[in-house]
């Protein structure tokens, strides 16, 4: 995961590069839960798709949804346009 971040964002001052230690394999599952929730899927549907317990899904949705707007803005502002 970290190697992919380095390849995607070569600028060492990019948000993801600065916070690269927070990028772990588990990040994909958390991102999936947040993305599915943002697409208006129910907790039950997310639980089924990711094979998690409902409390785990609710925990990550609650924790991550506070940061989604900031992360999205940082990603968009750091994206290279070709």
Angle, to 10 degrees, between the axis of helix 26-38 and the axis of helix 54-65?
80
- The model's pTM is 0.54
Residues 6+ apart with CB under 8 A from 32: 49, 50
Domain boundaries, given as residue ranges, for the chain: 2-78
Cα 40 from chain centroid (whole Å): 16
pLDDT at 80: 55
User: Is 36 in contact with 42 (CB distance < 8 Å)?
Assistant: no
Residues 6+ apart with CB under 8 A from 65: 34, 37
Higher-pLDDT residue of 71 and 60 is: 60
pLDDT at 47: 94
* Number of Cβ atoms within 10 Å of the Cβ of 67: 11
């Amino acid at each position: 995961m970290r190697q992919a971040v380095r390849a995607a964002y070569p600028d060492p001052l990019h948000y993801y590069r600065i916070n690269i230690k927070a990028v772990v394999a588990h990040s994909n599952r958390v991102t999936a839960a947040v993305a599915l929730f943002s697409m208006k899927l129910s907790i039950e549907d997310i639980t089924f798709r990711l094979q998690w317990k409902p409390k785990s899904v609710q925990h990550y949705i609650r924790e991550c949804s506070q940061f989604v707007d900031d992360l999205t803005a940082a990603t968009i502002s750091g994206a290279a346009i070709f």
